[in-house]
Structure 1
Amino acid sequence: MAQPNVEPEEDYDYESLPPNFSLLQNMTAGAFAGIAEHCAMYPIDAIKTRAQLVGATASPVSGGVIRATYRMASTEGILSLWRGMSSVIVGAGPAHAVYFATYEAVKHVMGGNRAGVHHPLAAATSGACATIASDALMNPFDVIKQRMQIQNSAKMYRSMFDCAKYVYRKEGLSAFYVSYPTTLSMTVPFTALQFLAYESISTHLNPVKQYDPMTHCLAGAVAGGFAAALTTPMDVIKTMLQTRGSAADAELRTVNGFVSGCRLLYQREGARGFFKGVRPRVLTTMPSTAICWSAYEASKAYFIHQNNSSSAG
């Protein structure tokens, strides 16, 4: 007997924002993804920050990331690997909520949610707009995080609030945003590259655009690692600007922007200095973006399922 034609429950592409998927739900999914992403690989991020500091007598990763992690834990205590993570938790939730809300809104306006068609320009533009909005909120928290990741920071700051007060008192409000233009010079191309790669890979692996955890995880990891490697030079300068107030080097403390940071770094360490910490950066970013996209897509799928169940009831 011929089977009757059954209309699908949804008439929208999974990757689009369905009519019953609210902005609050999208922001909640984004916040969950952001916190999961940053917390999972935080210890390696701490090693990356140490590796990028200018003027260090020896690279913390000279013997490998695993050995550097063990050395930091054994000499400063296991909890030192997570020092400053409270700042990430407080900032990453709201910042990623704004990030994914902006991404979905711009992607929708540019027609990137139409089913059956790949929209690389919409994906890249959406990613760039998303990071401009989220970094404005996250930048101060990132400054606090990196200050607390520096060796012996426990002697200077008892908590993230103590660190924030210290930085504000000694360097003023501008210290929280001196790295913002440099941050954008890194995160805008990083996010555009990541979103472009993610959308391209996921569309190739999952052309029907249904919820597929394996595809989201793999596409997120490859896209994140690719973008992280290419934008490492800007990340090194960002770290320099965000940690300059804790430096003993007088010349380093006077660096006030991307150009002066590049000039000093090249004078001190040559072209190789611009890729300091690239290994831990890629090792951090690949699983982090895999977790981020997996968590976001899982939350998105959960809310869509719940909303459909409520509508059916």
Structure 2
Amino acid sequence: MAVPERKPLPFVANFAAGAIAGVSEILTFYPLDVVKTRMQLETGKSKAGLVGTFQNIIREEGVGRLYRGLVPPLMLEAPKRATKFAANDFWGKIYLNLTGQKKMTQELAILTGSSAGATESFVVVPFELVKIKLQDKHSTFAGPMDVVRTIIRKEGLLGFYVGMESTFWRHLWWNAGYFGCIFKVREMLPKPESNKARLLNDLGAGTVGGFVGTAINTPFDVVKSRIQGATKVPGVVPKYNWTYPALVTIAREEGFGALYKGFTPKVMRLAPGGGVLLLVVEFTLNIFRKALGPPYV
């Protein structure tokens, strides 16, 4: 007797699983994001490094500064990660239908991830802008609402989309690497015989995906931080304006290594963070499958 094919979970289940995973990841790894941003905003030759930047922040500004700007990403993580995984599921179905494929392939996984990242970027950029403004060492803002009021007063609502183009490329490349690697690593690992083994496979695949995604997108993240961290001067063209020209400018003036400023804290967050994301998502989706019963199980 043929085993009935498992039905895909509804959109709301993927959205909720992504939201829960995102909050779990940000609460665990946020201080590394603060350190990463500080390192990326530093122009010229990097002086402090990962440990030195950590020590400087704690010594000069206190431990609490490591959680400066937490509110915007915490508010963002639920819709951001929910959008990531729900969009990945949505685009995966679209591309399978368009190509007539029955199962996901490596190429489709990369294309699907890219599309999910592009979709996610539109949700992310206003929150990222507020976060960068608060994480900057020279920030004088009292808090998130102070940043919001200042942006609206000086630039209007469109001011929240400063860095949209660089955010688009950052998320497109990270998600392409992340979801593309998850597909490949899962394919290479032994077929899991239990739920525990499957979740361990997800943790491993997500960690590898997080590392590769970070290695690919860090230069774009450096540019995004520079664009969003800059103070606009009327009548003056910003030094960092568009992504690809900015990549060339930074490499020419500071060396190629400058494009990977903040890579260590970023990869320390997003490699295991990518594993945690996938693990929590799959764990949560399993709960939904059991709750909904056949044909979702």
User: TM-score, normalising length from structure 2?
Assistant: 0.87
Alignment-derived partner of residue 183 in structure 1? 167
Q: Deviations over 1:225-272 (max 9, x none)?
A: 1121122211111110010128x9x98945322244234423431222
Taking only the aligned residue pairs, the percentage that are identical comes to: 23
Matches within 5 A, 1:1-313: 11-12=5-6, 18-19=7-8, 21-55=9-43, 58-61=46-49, 65-111=50-96, 117=103, 119-153=105-139, 156-207=140-191, 211=195, 212-245=198-231, 253-308=238-293
Q: 1:307 to 1:280 in 2, by over 3 A?
A: same
**Separation (CA, whole Å) in 2 of partners of 1:108 and 1:260:** 35
**Separation (CA, whole Å) in 1 of partners of 2:281 and 2:243:** 32
TM superposition shift of 1:115: 11
Counterpart of 2:111, as a letter, is: T
2:130/2:147 contact within 8 Å kept: yes
**Separation (CA, whole Å) in 1 of partners of 2:5 and 2:257:** 52
TM superposition shift of 1:216: 0.7
**Separation (CA, whole Å) in 1 of partners of 2:165 and 2:296:** 45
TM superposition shift of 1:207: 3.6
Q: 1:210 to 1:204 in 2, by over 3 A?
A: farther
SS at match of 1:202: helix
**Separation (CA, whole Å) in 2 of partners of 1:50 and 1:301:** 38
SS at match of 1:157: coil
Alignment-derived partner of residue 15 in structure 1? none
Q: Deviations over 1:61-100 (max 9, x none)?
A: 1xxx244323312321111001111100111211222221
2:83/2:119 contact within 8 Å kept: yes
1:131/1:187 contact within 8 Å kept: yes
**Separation (CA, whole Å) in 2 of partners of 1:275 and 1:110:** 33
SS at match of 1:231: helix
Stretch deviating more after TM superposition (199-208 or 43-52):
199-208
2:122/2:168 contact within 8 Å kept: no
Unaligned runs of 5+ in 1: 13-17
Across the aligned residues of Structure 1 and Structure 2, the Cα RMSD in angstroms comes to 3.0
> What is the aligned length?
292
Unaligned runs of 5+ in 2: none
**Separation (CA, whole Å) in 2 of partners of 1:310 and 1:124:** 28
SS at match of 2:96: coil
Select the structure of larger CA radius of gyration: 1
TM superposition shift of 1:184: 1.9
**Separation (CA, whole Å) in 1 of partners of 2:284 and 2:278:** 10
1:118/1:203 contact within 8 Å kept: no
Q: 1:178 to 1:283 in 2, by over 3 A?
A: same
**Separation (CA, whole Å) in 2 of partners of 1:132 and 1:210:** 34
**Separation (CA, whole Å) in 2 of partners of 1:169 and 1:57:** 35
